[in-house]
Amino acid sequence: MTRLLQRGERLVVATHNMGKLREIDVLVAPHGMSVASAGDLGLPEPEETGVTFEENAVLKAVAAATVSGLPALADDSGLAVDALGGAPGVYSARWAGPEKDFAAAMRSVEEKLQALGATAVEQRRAYFVAVLALAFPDGSVDLFRGEVHGHLVYPPRGPNGFGYDPMFVPEGHDETFGEMTAERKRTLSHRARAFAKFAAARLPT
């Protein structure tokens, strides 16, 4: 049964991505939960067989809640590029290959945009999506979605963040997520927007 989480209750953050974990830890901290990561608990990384962010978020959260016996929060996210029909989308992590080479993944995105002659900002529109799934050990699941829209620049700019952050400029700003501080990214990001919905629905204030 979905329910409010209690202050001090243990919550598993079901991710093996350190960039995401850092961001989610900071978002959870003010709510007084005790957080364990999938890595801390030695949980296996489930295969992401879904074709939507929602399906993958659910399968990661349910796997972690079932194995740990604790409520689990999973994030499935990615970058959707309008001119590429929404790619890389749910395959955003896979475009970086097993070495998780995001310089190469960003180069692939840019090569595809160049092949289409997409040089103007309007042709380079993209958005990040994050779907958070909260699963309880009884199998019940809640979903929360957040998006941030903007455009892509190349070459990548800035040392902050992770993944595709250095090529993404959110609407109304000049800096990429890679150039922004973590605090500034948190006021705008897809993950923070999804988290705000989750917090309002399920976390103690």
Paired tokens of 24: 């989610």
DSSP letters of 148-189? EEEEE-SS---SSSSTTGGGEEETT-SS-TTTS-HHHHHHH-
Binding track, positions 64-93, relative to ligand ITT; x by CB under 6 A = -----------xxxxx------------xx
Between residues 45 and 111, which has the closer beta carbon with respect to ligand ITT?
45
Member of 151, 161, 170, 193 binding ligand ITT (CB under 6 A): 161
Q: Count the residues of the shown chain that bind ligand ITT, applying the rule CB under 6 A.
A: 24
User: Could you tell me which stretch among 11-19, 64-72, 110-118, 149-157 binds ligand ITT (CB under 6 A)?
Assistant: 11-19
From the list 80, 86, 152, the residue with the least C-alpha distance to 123 is 152
| Residues 131-160 interacting with ligand ITT (rule: CB under 6 A) | none
HSE (side-chain half, CA atoms, 13 Å) at 105: 24
For residue 133, the cross-strand partners are: 74, 143
Binding track, positions 27-56, relative to ligand ITT; x by CB under 6 A = ------------------x--x--------
Catalytic residue, chosen from 76, 82, 142, 174, is 76
d(CA 165, CA 159): 9
| Helix or strand holding residue 35 (H, E) | strand 34-37
Determine whether 75 is an active site residue: no
Q: Quote the least distance from Cβ 17 to ligand ITT, whole Å.
A: 3
Instruction: Give the CB-nearest residue to ligand ITT.
Output: 163
Q: Quote the least distance from Cβ 174 to ligand ITT, whole Å.
A: 18
124 binds ligand ITT, rule: CB under 6 A? no
Member of 5, 17, 62, 132 binding ligand ITT (CB under 6 A): 17
Q: Quote the least distance from Cβ 7 to ligand ITT, whole Å.
A: 25
d(CA 74, CA 168): 23
d(CA 53, CA 125): 20
Amino acid at 43: L
Name the residues annotated as catalytic. 76
